[in-house]
Amino acid sequence: MDTVPTKKGLSGGVNQINSWFDQLLPQSSLLPHQHQQQQQESTKHTILKSRWFRLSIVVYILFSILLTAAHVTSWLFSGSSSSHYYHTSRSARDALSYQRTYDAEEAYSLLSNMSHGLKMSKLFAQGHYDALKYVQPFWQRATNVPESQQVSFIVTTTPNTWKDLVQMAKNWNGPISATLHISSKNDKNVLATIEAEYKSKPELFENVDLHLVETPNGIEKMASIMVPVNVERNLARIYARTDHVSDVPFNIIIATDLRQTLEKNQAKYTQLLSQGDMLVIPTFKYDDQQQLNQLQIPQTKKELVGLVEGEHLLGLYDAHFELNQGPTDFKKWKKADALYAVTDYTMDYEPVVIQSKTVQPWCSERFVDKKSACLLSSYLAGNDFLVLPNDFAIQKPSNKNTAISDLDSVIEKRLYSKFYWEQCVYHGRQLDAMGLWNSKKSEHIRQQCSRVIQNWGRGLIGKPE
Q: Where are the domains of the chain?
A: 113-404, 409-465
User: Would you state the pLDDT for residue 461?
Assistant: 44
Angle at 341 between CA 336 and CA 345, to 5 degrees: 125
Q: DSSP of 146-213, one letter per residue?
A: --TTSEEEEEEE-GGGHHHHHHHHHHH-S-EEEEEEEETTS-HHHHHHHHHHHHH-HHHHTTEEEEEE
User: Would you state the pLDDT for residue 128?
Assistant: 74
Which burial class, exposed, middle or buried, applies to 219 when counting CB atoms under 10 A from its CB (0-12, 13-18, 19+)?
buried
Q: In what order do the strands lie in the sheet with 314-316?
A: 252-254, 393-395, 283-286, 314-316
Helices (H) and strands (E) in the chain, counts: 18, 13
Angle at 328 between CA 259 and CA 461, to 5 degrees: 125
The correct answer on CATH 3.40.50.150 for the domain covering 113-404 is no
Beta bridge partner(s), residue 179: 156, 211
pLDDT per residue rounded down to tens, the chain (465 residues): 455 555 555 566 656 666 665 655 555 444 444 555 555 556 656 666 677 777 888 888 888 899 898 888 888 876 555 555 445 455 544 554 555 555 555 555 566 677 788 888 888 877 777 778 888 999 999 999 999 999 999 999 989 899 999 999 999 999 999 999 888 766 678 899 999 999 999 999 999 999 998 887 554 454 566 778 899 999 999 999 999 999 999 889 999 999 999 999 999 999 999 999 999 999 999 875 555 555 578 889 999 999 888 877 889 999 889 999 999 999 999 999 999 999 999 999 999 999 999 999 999 988 888 999 999 999 999 999 999 999 999 998 776 565 677 788 888 899 999 999 999 989 988 998 999 988 999 999 999 988 887 776 554 444 444
User: Would you state the pLDDT for residue 112?
Assistant: 65
From residue 372, how far is each of 150, 240, 247, 362, 417 by CA, in Å?
A: 24, 21, 11, 12, 12
What do you get for the CA distance between the two ends of the chain, in Å?
92
Picking from 317, 152, 373, 333, the residue whose alpha carbon sits closest to that of residue 248 is 152
In whole angstroms, give the CA distance from residue 376 to residue 380.
6
The overall longest dimension of the chain from CA atoms, in Å, is 131
- Orientation of helix 406-433 relative to helix 443-455, angle to 10°: 100
Element (H, E) at 379: helix 371-380
pTM score:
0.72
User: Would you state the pLDDT for residue 220?
Assistant: 46
Structural contact between residues 153 and 250, judged by C-beta atoms closer than 8 angstroms: no
